[in-house]
Amino acid sequence: IIGSGSVGTLEPSYNYGSIVPITAIPDANMEFVEWLGTGIAQPAFAQTTVTMDADRNITARFKPRDFNVIINVDGKGSTTGSGLHPFGSTINISATPEFGYEFSHWEGVGPDSNTSANTTLTIQQEHALIAHFNQLPFNVTTNSGTGGSVSVVENAPPFYFDNNYTLFADPDFGYEFSH
């Protein structure tokens, strides 16, 4: 056996010409890869047969099962780490915000840190994560020259990146808005 698994019960010897069923049984989170040796009818199948027309030395090979990591984005940014990864492996995942945004947190099972944009994930199952990005807050300062006032119509500060806000210019009597 190569990897982690077992084979069905076999006798120590068989009659010449016998066709013997063989079965490979992977352990949890492992998968069968192939049989190695000669006389095996279908080396890629976990259940197959071997023809006993000579002494046989056969090996069942197993490998860690691959699990899918899916990373979705809430807000504006990009991530790395999505894809198929073998069970038990530790991968790096990262979240990079677009201009005007900041990384907030990871949502989902597995990241070693939910608040760090660059962290690791140990593959134990299928993983579905969300990288959350928040808009950066800004203050808007308005000034007017002689003869009027200006204000932001809606909401009190802070003002968030990538949102639209309406400015209101109110000229005093005898003045008009210029620019």
Q: Which tokens belong to 119?
A: 């962290």
pLDDT band of 22, cuts 50, 70, 90: very high
Query: How many Å from the N-terminal Cα to the C-terminal Cα in the chain?
Result: 81
Cis peptide, bond prior to residue 158, ω within 30 of zero: yes
In sequence order, which ranges of 40-104 are alpha helices (DSSP H)?
none
27 three-state secondary structure: coil
| pLDDT tens readout for residues 30-40 | 999 999 999 99
- At residue 161, the pLDDT reads 84
For 49-86, b/e burial (b = at least 16 CB within 10 A) is ebbbeeeeebebebbbbebebebebebebebebeeebe
Is 90 exceeded by the pLDDT of residue 176? no
Determine if residue 75 is left, alpha or beta; phi over 0 gives left, psi from -120 to 50 gives alpha, anything else beta.
Answer: left
Q: Three-class SS of residue 155?
A: coil
Judge whether residue 89 has pLDDT over 90: yes
Place of tokens 């990373």: 71
**pLDDT on residue 31:** 96
Residue 164, pLDDT > 90, answer no
